[in-house]
Structure 1
Amino acid sequence: MGKMAAAVASLATLAAEPREDAFRKLFRFYRQSRRGTADLGAVIDFSTAHEAPGPRPGVPKVVRFHLNVASVTEQEACRAGLKPVSQWRAYGLEGYPGFIFIPNPFLPGCQRHWIKQCLKLYSQKPNVCNLDKHMPKEEAQSPWEQSKEFLRSKEVNKRRPRTLLERLRWVTLGYHYNWDSKKYSADHYTPFPSDLAFLSEQVAAACGFQGFRAEAGILNYYRLDSTLGIHVDRSELDHSKPLLSFSFGQSAIFLLGGLKRDEAPTAMFMHSGDIMVMSGFSRLLNHAVPRVLPHPDGECLPRCLETPLPAVLPTNSLLEPCSLEDWQVCAAYLNTARVNMTVRQVLAPGQDFPLEETKRLPMEETKRDITASGLCHLDEQSNPVKRAMLNPDS
C-alpha cells in the first residue's frame, strides 16, 4: 500500500508541475512506464474492481453502474457472443458522468469471432485503410491473404519486413472519417457490417441507449510500440449518442481526462474483451492510449483467448466458426498487438450531412496518412520524427 500511495503522490506532483499541460505530462509518464514497478500503481483495473477494498487517495472512486437487464434478451446477447446481461459487471467513475466500463462480457471463446473479423474481413476492400496511401488499391485488397503464411510460420524472423497486416494501422467502416478535415461524409461509404452493428446495438441497449444506430466504425491496430494521441471525438454530428469501444488482444493503458488538457487524466487498464461506453458529459472528454503493455510472460496471448469457439454454435448465432489455421494467424498477430473497435452513430434520425461535406474530396485527400492529423493517430515510439511530434520539448 505504501508503494501505491507513493505512486499516486508522485503522479499528482508531476501533473501539478508548470510548463507542460497535465494530460501530456502523464501521457509521457505512462508511455515510458514499466510493468512490475510502482509506475502502474495508480492505474484502475476494472477486472478486479469487485475485489478492491475501497477508494484510493487521489484516484476517482469506482462505482457500480446498473444496466438495463430487460432491454436485451438472453437469446439476443448469445447471438452476439455475449453473456446474459444479468451476468455482466459494469462500472462508472465519480466525476465522469456518462462513462461506463464493462469488463469482458463475452462468452468463452467468442472473442475469437470478432478478432477474426477485424483482421480477416473488416480489413478488406472496399473499406478504406492507411495502406491506401502507400500502394495501389489492388495490392491492399486483402492484408490477411498477403500476410497469413508469414504469420502462420513457426520460424518467425524478427528482422523480416512487416507483413501488410502488421503494417495496418486503421480501417474505417460505414461513413468514412477524413483525417485531414476531421469530418465524416458519405464519400467512400461502405456498408456497415451487420454483425458488428447488432453487437453494438445490444451493448448500447443494455446501457440504456435504445435506438442506437451503428453508422461508422474506426478500427485501430496497435503494435507494442504504438500509442493513440490525445484527442476528443467530436466529429459526429449527433453528440447525444454514445461512443462504444471494444478491445481485443494485449492490454493497454487508457487515459480519460477532462474538457481541457490542463486537467490531469485518470488511468485505467483495457484488457481483451473489455467494452467502454462514453456518453453524456464524458462523450467529449480528452482521452488517449499512451501504452500497450507486453504480456508479462513474453509473447503470448491473454488467458481469456485460450478457449476456442464452441464447436456447435446456436442456429441463429451471428458468429462464424474460426478454423485452427485462421486462429493461428490471429494468435501470431495478437502475441504482440491489440485491436480496438470504436463504433459511433454519426447522424441524428432524419439528419443529413451539410452540403459542403457531401462534396466529393480528391482521392489524394483520403489517402493521406492518419499521422498527418496530429490529433488522433496511432504513433510508434520507434520513429524519431513521430516522437518529436508527440514530444516537442524533448
Structure 2
Amino acid sequence: MAKMAAAMVESGEDAFRKIFKFYKRRNPPPDFSDVIDFSRGLPSDKIVPAKLDPSAVSDVEGARVGLRPVRDWRAFGLQGFPGFIFISNPFLLGSQPSWVRRCLKTYPQKPNVCNLDMHMSPSETQDIWGKSLRGLSSPSGKREPKTLLEKLRWVTLGYHYNWDTKTYSADHHTPFPEDLHSLSEHVTAACGFPGFNAEAGILNYYRSDSSLGIHVDESELDHSRPLLSFCFGQSSIFLLGGTRRQDPPTAMFMHSGDMMVMSGESRLLYHAVPRILPAPEGQAALETEHCSPASSNQDGSVVEPVSEEDWVVCSRYIQSSRVNVTVRQVLGPGQRFPETPSSQQRTGAGQTAGYHEGHEDQDSVKRKRRSSCDSDDADET
C-alpha cells in the first residue's frame, strides 16, 4: 500500500481517490493489513500518545453522559496530523445502548430534518421509529419491505445543513439536543477545547454497502473550533488525507463507541469512509452492554436503561448498520451569518443531494441524483 500510494503521488494522480476505491473494492476484497486499529494497541511508528486534560471533566459529570473518567481514556494522535485525536471507546460499560436508542428513536423525530423529508410529507415522517417497529421486530427469517428507519440516510440537528448550497443559515435552526451538547462539551474540553458550543449535528446512517465520499468539512464559519465524530454499530474504515487529493491518506478502523476530534491543522483535511465492516466481535459487545445497563441514578444523568422492546429494534438495526454522529460549532464569538436570501439558504423538498455529494466523482453524482431515498446505490450515505 505504501509503495502504491507513493507511485500515485509521483505520477500526479488523485492518490486519495485511488486508495478510496482500493478499500471500497468488493471483488477481490482489499488487503486490510495496513489499516491502523487503535483498539488493539499495536505498536506503530505513526501512532503517538495524545495528551488530555483529566481535570477538565469531573468523573461525576462524565458519568452523567456515559463516559469513563478521562484518566482512563485511551487517546492517540498520528504523526504528520497535528490536531487529530482518536479516542478508543471512552464510554462506560452499558451506556452505548442508550445513545444508540437516541440516534434511532429520538434524533430522527421532528423538528429535526432527515432525507425522508425530501420525498415524503411531514405527516409521513412524523414518527419514523413507531412506523418501523413492526418491520424491525419481526423474525429475522422473514424479510418485510424496508422500514422508514432502514431508509434513513441522514438527520440534521441545530443549524440544519443545506446539501445543495453547502451552507448553514440563521433562519433554518431548531434547538440542539441538550444531551448531545453535554456529551460533546465534555469530550472537547478533555481534548483541550473548553467552551465548545455544539450548534450543528449531522447523523449518517450507513448500510453494509454504504460509503462516504471524499470531502473537507469547511462550511462552518469558525474553523478554529474542533469537529467531533463518533459512531455506534458496525465498524468502518476511515481515511484521513492531506490538504490536497494528491496526498495519500492514512487508513484506520473506527469501531462502535470510538471518537475522533479534528482540530488545528487537521480540521480542514480531506477524509472519507470507503467501507463498512462487521464489528470485530459481531454485536456481542453491545448485547452484553444492554444486559449490564450503566448506572442512571445520578442527578441529571442522560444515560437511561433501554427497554427490552426498544433494544430488539436497536439490536436488529445495528446488526448490519452503522450510525455516525458529527458535531460542529458553526459560529465563533461575535460571528453572524452573512446576509443572503432565505430562499437560497433554507432546506427544502427540492434538494436532491446527500452528504457531501459530488466530492467523489461525477459518476457517483449522476447515480445519486437518479436514486430515491431507499436506493441500494453503494455511494449513498
Same fold (TM over 0.5): yes
Partner of 1:111: 96
Deviates more, 1:138-147 or 1:194-203: 138-147
1:231 is aligned to 2:215: yes
Q: How does 1:256-295 map to 2 (within 5 A)?
A: 256-295=240-279
How far off is 1:148 after superposition? 1.4
Among 58, 74, 84, the residue aligned to 2:59: 74
1:222-264 CA deviation, whole Å, 9 max, x = no partner? Answer: 0001000000000000000000001110000000000010110
Partner of 2:354: 370
Contact 1:33 1:39 in 2 (8 A): no
Provide the rounded CA distance (Å) in 2 between the counterparts of 1:133 and 1:292: 25
1:303 is aligned to 2:295: no
SS in 2 for 1:199: helix
- The aligned amino acid for 1:68 is D
Q: How does 1:196-207 map to 2 (within 5 A)?
A: 196-207=180-191
1:292-323 CA deviation, whole Å, 9 max, x = no partner? Answer: 013568xx415245312527522221112210
Residues 296, 319 of structure 1: alpha-carbon distance in 2 compared, 3 angstrom cutoff: closer
Among 131, 139, 146, the residue aligned to 2:124: 139
Provide the rounded CA distance (Å) in 1 between the counterparts of 2:353 and 2:155: 12
Partner of 1:31: 24
How far off is 1:351 after superposition? 1.6
1:263-305 CA deviation, whole Å, 9 max, x = no partner? Answer: 10000000000000000000000000000013568xx415245
1:195 is aligned to 2:179: yes
1:328 is aligned to 2:325: no
1:332-358 CA deviation, whole Å, 9 max, x = no partner? Answer: 000110000000000012221111165
1:21 is aligned to 2:14: yes
With normalisation by structure 1, the TM-score equals: 0.87
- The aligned amino acid for 1:310 is P
Provide the rounded CA distance (Å) in 2 between the counterparts of 1:232 and 1:357: 25
SS in 2 for 1:307: helix
Deviates more, 1:85-94 or 1:312-321: 312-321
SS in 1 for 2:31: helix
Provide the rounded CA distance (Å) in 2 between the counterparts of 1:334 and 1:119: 10
1:144-201 CA deviation, whole Å, 9 max, x = no partner? Answer: 111112111114434x421100110000000011001000112331110000000000
Provide the rounded CA distance (Å) in 2 between the counterparts of 1:255 and 1:234: 17
SS in 2 for 1:342: strand
Provide the rounded CA distance (Å) in 2 between the counterparts of 1:361 and 1:65: 38
Provide the rounded CA distance (Å) in 1 between the counterparts of 2:285 and 2:145: 29
Residues 364, 25 of structure 1: alpha-carbon distance in 2 compared, 3 angstrom cutoff: same
Contact 2:211 2:273 in 1 (8 A): yes
SS in 1 for 2:179: helix
SS in 1 for 2:172: coil
Q: How does 1:100-179 map to 2 (within 5 A)?
A: 100-158=85-143, 160-179=144-163
Provide the rounded CA distance (Å) in 2 between the counterparts of 1:142 and 1:258: 41
How far off is 1:143 after superposition? 1.3
How far off is 1:19 after superposition? 7.2
Partner of 1:4: none
Gaps spanning 5+ residues in structure 2: where? Answer: none
Provide the rounded CA distance (Å) in 2 between the counterparts of 1:118 and 1:294: 19
How far off is 1:368 after superposition? 3.0
- The aligned amino acid for 2:123 is E
1:41 is aligned to 2:33: yes
How far off is 1:375 after superposition? 3.1
Residues 280, 366 of structure 1: alpha-carbon distance in 2 compared, 3 angstrom cutoff: farther
Contact 1:187 1:360 in 2 (8 A): no
SS in 2 for 1:101: strand
- The aligned amino acid for 1:262 is Q
Partner of 1:58: none
Residues 45, 33 of structure 1: alpha-carbon distance in 2 compared, 3 angstrom cutoff: farther
SS in 2 for 1:183: coil
Deviates more, 1:81-90 or 1:138-147: 138-147
SS in 1 for 2:161: strand
SS in 2 for 1:185: coil
Residues 179, 67 of structure 1: alpha-carbon distance in 2 compared, 3 angstrom cutoff: same
Provide the rounded CA distance (Å) in 2 between the counterparts of 1:376 and 1:193: 31
Residues 357, 95 of structure 1: alpha-carbon distance in 2 compared, 3 angstrom cutoff: farther
